[in-house]
Amino acid sequence: KKINNFISQKLYEQNEQEEFISESMVIGKGSRTFLIECIIFQDHTFEIAINDITQQEQESRLKRQLTQNIAHELKTPVSSIRGYMETILSTEMDDSRKKMFMERCYAQSKRLTDLLRDISMLNRLDESKDLYDTDNTDLQKIINEVINESQAALTEREMTVETRNLHERMSINGNYSLLYSIFRNLTDNAIAYAGIGTKITIDCYLEDSKYYYFSFSDNGIGVPEEHLNRLFERFYRVDKGRSRKLGGTGLGLAIVKNAVLFHKGEIWVKNGLSGGLNILFSLRKV
């Protein structure tokens, strides 16, 4: 109706100053979005163009959501730090209470640092794959480093790690930082959510001339089926309150997915038959 009215009103008007006049509108039809444009020329002819802009609209919506999520995630630690510092500056308190408040400030600043680091890593992956160099890297060495560096947290949660089918010279032409982030984020995620006393299993269950195929699983509580297909979304949390309380950035599994894709692999997730979460992914050797 808007385009019809525009044509009816403007088609035969004298227009000698401009080469053409135009009108546009956006409409939705089902799950699609279309941009309708009408141009009327000086000779009283007109053209109508219908463009499918569904993908652009989806990308714009995702960017808006991402910006809102980042702002929300940054607001929490910043507000906490400000609140603690204002209390310290405006209130008389003994050294032990002041130390407690400073420790809380430090914890929130660390969370803020982790969040900014994760956002930066994802932005670099989005912008250009060329920002990450590749070199000959030993996967078994990376996995062992992750396990050793996570040992304190694993012990605290009474958790164990079992590795299967790992061997010397598990060589891959990849980026060390991204490969480390895959196994570190998966381990941190399992430590946070699998449950006390659970076991993590890292299994290179298949290897061929081009790929390594990994299963990263635990025997914990698993994830409700309706959440599985969204686990790799940025800032998506199954239990928002509990996740923030545990200090996660909400970006760990998104980084895992993008790091796997960087190494020309695929990734998917399912619940194990006997319970727990099972994340399967491949990594291309060269």
Helix axes 176-193, 139-149, angle to 10 degrees: 40
Separation CA 182–CA 136 (nearest Å): 17
Question: The tokens of 81 are what?
Answer: 């730090």
Among candidates 259, 251, 255, which has minimal Cα distance to 234?
251
Model pTM? 0.68
**Domains in the chain and their CATH numbers?**
2-52 (no CATH), 57-127 (1.10.287.130), 132-284 (3.30.565.10)
Q: In a 10 Å sphere around its CB, with 0-12 CB exposed, 13-18 middle and 19+ buried, how is residue 166 labelled?
A: middle
- Tell me: the pLDDT tens digits for 128-177? 667 788 999 999 999 999 999 999 999 999 999 999 999 988 999 999 99
Residue spans of alpha helices (H) in 27-168: 54-90, 95-127, 139-149, 151-156
- Cα angle 274, 277, 278 (rounded to 5 degrees) comes to 95
Closest by CA position to 11, among listed 26, 27, 22, 1: 22
Give the pLDDT confidence of 53-96 residue by residue, as tens digits: 888 887 777 667 666 667 767 787 888 899 989 999 998 889 99
Contact 98, 231 (CB under 8 A): no
